[in-house]
Chain A
């Protein structure tokens, strides 16, 4: 079974701001300010990706070892999905 692909939730409203993004998921009453690695992860889910693909892309962009950042990326994806900013791509 292939790992799930996530993408940005179609109903999320958002804006880029210097160094980050402000997102308003459909399930939240207040906007969320993403910065640092979180916004990088958010950007990488533009058109749908697996957590592993995003981890590898973040590792390449940050010149980091994928295994070392795996837990952090998974945590960010869990946070973003839990906040309603990501949905499973069909």
Chain B
């Protein structure tokens, strides 16, 4: 059974996918050759804003690839200006947080948005984003939290128990006093797949880029691709087009070491995720160009164990509680299993509202643990 058969996902409308594919070599997606009717245009513009691809829409219009009425062209331009301005404001927060982390001696890797915009795309305006995403090592996680708190930020959700994020968590979202969000990551995803990532290894390689007169570091190229696949395949019920486009930018990259991608993914038990991410990108954007990864991905057959793990991330049984509970099986040391299970079952702190949700999913989660432990 291939990935597409095992893990059906919700697709995107062909027109929106075609906009998101603009400029991609080898894409068979087709844009209309006449201007859209007003209602269809309004729908497209709304989806484009939601998917954060106004830069690609404006580029398609400017290149004449998508014919538009004059007022539609103006609207596309306005959406691109607003999107660009919004990204610049996020980048300013990124620089402010990065500077404070730097002063505190906290190593960082910029994830997704800003890093991808400035290293993967021909024009950074083609990759929009809405928040700051920073990865820090687990043993610096509490320091990073303290820095953000000193900057006036507050957590969106409380930590399960003190020390949980540093040892086991995916990360946490912090809201700065001016409302901007900083996602402070320790690993790529919650649950078993996140726990198996070699998080210390993520800081052994880097992709530098310049921003506002400073040099920032993104992940190494292979780690970027794997993270993009985790984000696209597991991050939301319907993969975001920006995340799929990131994969399409990365997979054919001339400096990408495909063997290293496969090796890292296998070590992190994430081969099925990488295959799923690449396959989703190739199918969504109808990419005819073949790369080593695009040839491998659609034929990858997930093992029963991989399918069980993926089922808590993808499809109808997707749930945070299921991911959290399935994480027990990914921890090798009994002491860690106990600490982890205690933290997710008996969270500390004044806000225990998520405990009710956890209990609601308890039965499903117990089944997930049982499945994950099954050989």
Query: Which chain A positions have C-beta within 8 A of B124?
Result: 15
Given A11-B212, A11-B213, A17-B58, decide whether A22 and B123 contact each other with a Cβ distance below 8 A.
Answer: no
Quick one: closest B residue to A18, CB to CB? B62
A16-B125, A17-B77, A17-B80 as given contacts; A31 in contact with B59, CB under 8 Å: no
Q: Tell me whether A17 and B92 are in contact (CB under 8 A).
A: no
In the complex the two chains form, what is the Cα distance from A30 to B80 in whole Å?
A: 16
For A32, the closest partner residue in chain B by CB is B85
Q: State the interface size on chain B (CB cutoff 8 A).
A: 22
Verify if A69 is at the interface (C-beta below 8 Å from B). Answer: no
In the complex, chain B residues whose CB is within 8 Å of the CB of A16: 123, 125
B330 CB, min distance to chain A CBs, angstroms: 39
Does B110 belong to the interface (CB within 8 Å)? no
Q: Would you call A33 an interface residue if the criterion is a C-beta within 8 Å of the partner chain's C-beta atoms?
A: yes
Interface size class of A (residues with CB under 8 A): 10 to 19
A24 on interface, CB distance cutoff 8 Å: yes
State the Cβ distance, B333 to closest chain A Cβ, in Å.
Answer: 45
Chain A residues closer than 8 Å to B213, beta-carbon distance: 10-11
Q: Is the CB of B59 within 8 A of A15?
A: no
Whether a CB of chain B sits under 8 angstroms from the CB of A89 is: no
A17 to chain B, nearest CB (A): 5
Q: In terms of DSSP, what is the predominant structure of the interface of chain B? A: helix
Given A17-B81, A18-B77, A18-B80, are A31 and B88 neighbors across the interface (CB < 8 Å)?
yes
Closest A residue, CB atoms, query B79? A17
Judge whether B189 is part of the interface by a CB distance below 8 angstroms.
Answer: no
A24 to chain B, nearest CB (A): 4
B61: Cβ under 8 A from any A Cβ: yes
A22 touches B212 (CB 8 A): no
Contacts of B92 in A (CB 8 A): 13, 24
Closest B-chain residue to A24, C-beta based?
B88
Tell yes or no: A19 within 8 A of B by CB. Answer: yes
Select from chain A the residue with minimum beta-carbon distance to B58.
Answer: A18
Would you give the shortest CB distance from A22 to chain B, in whole angstroms? 4
A15→B59 CA distance, assembly (Å): 13
**1-59 of chain A: CB within 8 A of chain B:** 10-20, 22-24, 26, 30-31, 33
Min CB gap B174→A, angstroms: 21
Docked complex Cα distance between A33 and B88 (Å): 12
Q: Are B89 and A33 in contact (CB under 8 A)?
A: no
A30–B212 Cα distance when bound, in Å, is 15
Distance, CA A28 to CA B40, complexed state (A):
38
B17 at the interface (CB under 8 A from A): no
| Contact assessment for A24 and B85 in the assembled complex, using a CB-CB cutoff below 8 Å | yes
Q: For window 76-117 of chain B, which residues contact chain A by CB distance below 8 Å?
A: 76-77, 80-81, 84-85, 87-89, 91-92
B211 at the A interface (CB under 8 A): yes
Using CB atoms, name the residue of chain B closest to A15. B84
In the complex, chain A residues whose CB is within 8 Å of the CB of B123: 15-16
Instruction: Kindly state the separation between the CA atoms of A60 and B142 in the bound complex, as whole angstroms.
Output: 58
Q: How far is the CA of A13 from the CA of B87 in the complex (A)?
A: 9
Contact A17:B61 (CB < 8 A) given known A12-B212, A24-B89: no
Annotate B145-189 by CB proximity to A: 1 below 8 A, 0 otherwise.
000000000000000000000000000000000000000000000
A15→B87 contact, CB < 8 A: yes
State whether A17 and B125 are in contact (beta carbons under 8 Å apart), knowing that A22-B85, A22-B88, A24-B88 are contacts in the complex: yes
Q: Which of B76, B81, B212 contacts A33 (CB 8 A)?
A: B81
B84-A31 in contact (CB<8A): yes
In the assembly, what is the distance between CA of A11 and CA of B88, in Å? 12
How far apart are the CA atoms of A24 and B123 in the complex, in Å? 17
Since A15-B88, A16-B123 are in contact, a sample of 19 more A-B pairs with Cβ atoms closer than 8 Å, ordered by chain A residue number, is A10-B212, A11-B212, A12-B212, A13-B88, A13-B92, A14-B88, A15-B84, A15-B124, A15-B125, A16-B125, A17-B55, A17-B58, A17-B81, A18-B77, A20-B81, A22-B88, A23-B88, A24-B91, A24-B92
B contacts, CB < 8 Å to A: 55, 58-59, 61-62, 76-77, 80-81, 84-85, 87-89, 91-92, 123-125, 211-213
Binding site for B on A (CB under 8 A): 10-20, 22-24, 26, 30-31, 33
13 contacts between A and B (CB under 8 A): A11-B212, A11-B213, A12-B212, A13-B88, A13-B92, A15-B55, A15-B84, A17-B81, A22-B85, A24-B85, A31-B85, A31-B88, A31-B89
Leading 9 A-B pairs by shortest Cβ distance: A10-B213, A31-B85, A15-B84, A24-B88, A22-B84, A18-B62, A15-B125, A13-B88, A11-B213
